Structure 1
């Protein structure tokens, strides 16, 4: 089985969010399970120098992009058993940012077209092309509309994964002629038409053979008006090919027993190292080093989507309790200023670190007692799984992947891996935090059991990768 995994980003080359983690870890695991998976990415100028030195050029050629005749270089390297192809064109990918440029429609239209054009050049035709989010969403559309006559490409099956439905790639209709050089036969309600514009992601939903998203609950949620981002009717129409496969986390990178990012190692049988990490985190965050207060960690983009308006609403009252909070992240300037204010008002109880620091993030996962993640919606979420891996119990809103991965504490049976609330409100968040604090302070045996249960859960990529392979196998046999 040959699979081409197409993405706008992948760690460790380029990463802005969870897609970068998935595009690195999932192909790596599928290769371990015997699948010939190769990854294709833009060759952004942001690639770290150590990887640039490893690149080898396979070929370069030109192709027609609307009225333009454009250059396309194909560079490659192999990392951890995975072959990577990089589409090289400085005029599109030598920019200040990966996304958010004025010509993103053309840039990723070029990328989607180049992915297909490269296949015959490298003489490797996959059985499956697995597109991810809107950046590669035109690949299935183009395979059906522009390249259907090419016999070598006609058998390729098309899989789309939606990592976050909010981002869709919406552009003016002229992009069809100006960039793709096609007519308007795909500009229909069951194609790309989205009101009076073109929607890349809608096109992929309609033209792919299978659609997955990153948790079973999110797969259900996006077919409703509340979470469907105005594509819920399209997803309901295509629900027969929609499923949810929960993401994993990379166990090579997230392992408390040997993580090089944390100063003290531990496992579920010996938690002494976790207590030492807590003291180290308190010291680095400028908080009093105390082992008798619960420490709540937060690592996130500071946005409404992540529920920070709920946290802000209860924070003044919360910080009057016997606890500490360490917050790490950047985002909405309002939240940045607000959390800095609370940290200055309660300097012994809150540390607000408005920055991006991977090493400090790992220490927060490893050294905190609780991890706060009350997202309004969360397609999958990785932080809650990482926190449980490190014995830090998550407090989450029951939505998307948070609902699928965090088992709420049952006060009667002692089962659970964290704490969760249903009904997105500050009131419900407050009471859930109160419950968590009560267990921490007054029921140490129950707390120890929860930590052990959280750390013993399997969030590796082994099972999700097998689910994708099963999906591919079913498609090829159809």
Structure 2
């Protein structure tokens, strides 16, 4: 995998957010690949709880400035960047004042999901793709972690399917046990349908709970990784119906297992 390019897209990454299985695994996957000579880029949302001064985030003017359309509304895209200390890895942050300024991640002070989490996920997916296009950086592998990043596979496979930069990219989605209770906005499917004019493609989002959002990601991925030792039973059963390579949960030899998995995907073996 040396000299190959892997784009890691995650809802959460340490050290910018608290340590969880998801934030640690997505960071370690990128770190391990980087240590083996793989070219890496990490993308995550710029949540308002991230201390920009402490982590030395700064806006990249040449990448910012465009508007992304979400549900027929123009939303300004701001790109910020930082480097993870000691690792020499760049992290790009997708930002927007309305979606990400609030001092919280997914829920309010009453632990209720933000009503615009669906639009935040759409904006994040589009923001990642548009930024990578501006960087003119064609990834061999795109590894997606976390439900807020899970719109990326369907947008790459459908909305951006004519984009030559991603023609050879293989999409990997990691599945985790932690998610959220309840549903996102009931209009989630309609908002995605604004971009992707195929109701069959957005059918899972008609009931936008955690499992269905991940089903949508799986259907549009080239491979799947078990990021947790156990995942929701409904996801496990659904995965059995999909003809994609699956990497089981790895803890002790995660570094080698992930790299071998990436290599097999790129080589088509």
TM over 0.5: yes
Instruction: Give the stretch that moved more between structures: 87-96 or 52-61.
Output: 52-61
Confirm or deny: 8 A CA contact 2:48 2:105 kept in the other structure.
no
Gaps of 5+ in 2: 108-113
- Give the corresponding residue for 1:312: none
Distance 1:197 1:184 in 2: 18
For 1:68-87, what aligned pairs fall within 5 Å after superposition?
68-79=73-84, 80-87=87-94
Secondary structure of 2:173 counterpart: strand
Tell me: CA distance 1:179–1:93, structure 2 relative to 1, closer, same or farther (3 Å).
farther
Tell me: CA distance 1:239–1:154, structure 2 relative to 1, closer, same or farther (3 Å).
closer
Confirm or deny: 8 A CA contact 1:245 1:467 kept in the other structure.
no
2:125 matched to 1:121?
no
Tell me: CA distance 1:21–1:40, structure 2 relative to 1, closer, same or farther (3 Å).
same
Q: Give 1:39 deviation, angstroms.
A: 0.6
Candidates 179, 189, 193, aligned match of 2:203: 193
Q: Give 1:119 deviation, angstroms.
A: 1.2
- Give the corresponding residue for 1:25: 28
Tell me: CA distance 1:96–1:49, structure 2 relative to 1, closer, same or farther (3 Å).
closer
- Give the corresponding residue for 1:107: 120
Secondary structure of 1:45 counterpart: coil
Tell me: CA distance 1:118–1:168, structure 2 relative to 1, closer, same or farther (3 Å).
farther
2:176 matched to 1:163?
yes
For 1:260-299, what aligned pairs fall within 5 Å after superposition?
none
Distance 2:133 2:182 in 1: 27
Distance 1:154 1:173 in 2: 32
Tell me: CA distance 1:167–1:16, structure 2 relative to 1, closer, same or farther (3 Å).
farther
Distance 1:134 1:110 in 2: 13
Secondary structure of 1:11 counterpart: coil
Tell me: CA distance 1:124–1:183, structure 2 relative to 1, closer, same or farther (3 Å).
closer
For 1:88-103, what aligned pairs fall within 5 Å after superposition?
88-100=95-107, 101-103=114-116
Secondary structure of 1:208 counterpart: coil
Tell me: CA distance 1:124–1:168, structure 2 relative to 1, closer, same or farther (3 Å).
farther
Tell me: CA distance 1:29–1:244, structure 2 relative to 1, closer, same or farther (3 Å).
same
Secondary structure of 1:41 counterpart: strand
Tell me: CA distance 1:121–1:81, structure 2 relative to 1, closer, same or farther (3 Å).
same
Tell me: CA distance 1:9–1:166, structure 2 relative to 1, closer, same or farther (3 Å).
closer
Distance 1:86 1:123 in 2: 17
Tell me: CA distance 1:124–1:84, structure 2 relative to 1, closer, same or farther (3 Å).
same
Q: Give 1:183 deviation, angstroms.
A: 4.1
Alpha-carbon RMSD: 2.5
Distance 1:121 1:168 in 2: 36
Higher helix share: 1
Gaps of 5+ in 1: 248-458
- Highest relative contact order (Cα 8 Å, sep 6+), 1 or 2? 2
Distance 1:209 1:97 in 2: 32
Confirm or deny: 8 A CA contact 1:169 1:200 kept in the other structure.
no
Candidates 232, 235, 256, aligned match of 1:466: 256
- Give the corresponding residue for 1:132: 145
Tell me how many residue pairs correspond in the alignment.
Answer: 252
Distance 1:179 1:239 in 2: 25
2:211 matched to 1:207?
no
Q: Give 1:131 deviation, angstroms.
A: 0.5
Q: Give 1:192 deviation, angstroms.
A: 4.1
Secondary structure of 1:238 counterpart: coil
Candidates 144, 147, 163, aligned match of 2:160: 147
